[in-house]
Amino acid sequence: MFVSFNLVFRFLLELFLLGSLGVWGYHLGGGTFARFVLTVGLPLAAAIIWGLFISPKARFSLPTPLVVFIEFLLVGAAAYGLIWSGYFITAVIYVVAHIGNRLLLGIFLHKRKEE
């Protein structure tokens, strides 16, 4: 039950990551076209990277430390985008939640494999 809750929470954090990048893209763009391209393009690029390297059914199987590194690069980009857009507290809460969720999943999924 606890692992299922954390997996659902992880999915919500992934959606928040995409939304954060979209907000950053909107604030980053200078004109209407640039805003549209960045608002759609940044989350799309992150989703492609996530699907290729991080997701459970990733196209490329990488060692866990590298997967975690790529994941936290994306989380860092989303947090930076939130801070740049003026949402500092939201960025801090998001990063803490993501790190906590990642640690809990790592601990509980590791225990499951041992059993």
In the predicted model, is pLDDT for residue 112 greater than 70?
no
Q: Give the chain's mean pLDDT.
A: 91
Instruction: Please compute the mean of the pLDDT values over residues 11-23 and round it to a whole number.
Output: 96
Q: Tell me, what's the pLDDT at 15?
A: 97
Tens of pLDDT along 23-36?
999 999 889 999 99
Contact 82, 91 (CB under 8 A): yes
Report pTM.
0.88
With cut-offs at 50, 70 and 90, classify the pLDDT of residue 113: low
Question: For residues 9 and 29, what is the distance between their CA atoms, to the nearest angstrom?
Answer: 30
In the predicted model, is pLDDT for residue 44 greater than 90?
yes
Placement of tokens 């960045």 in the chain: 38
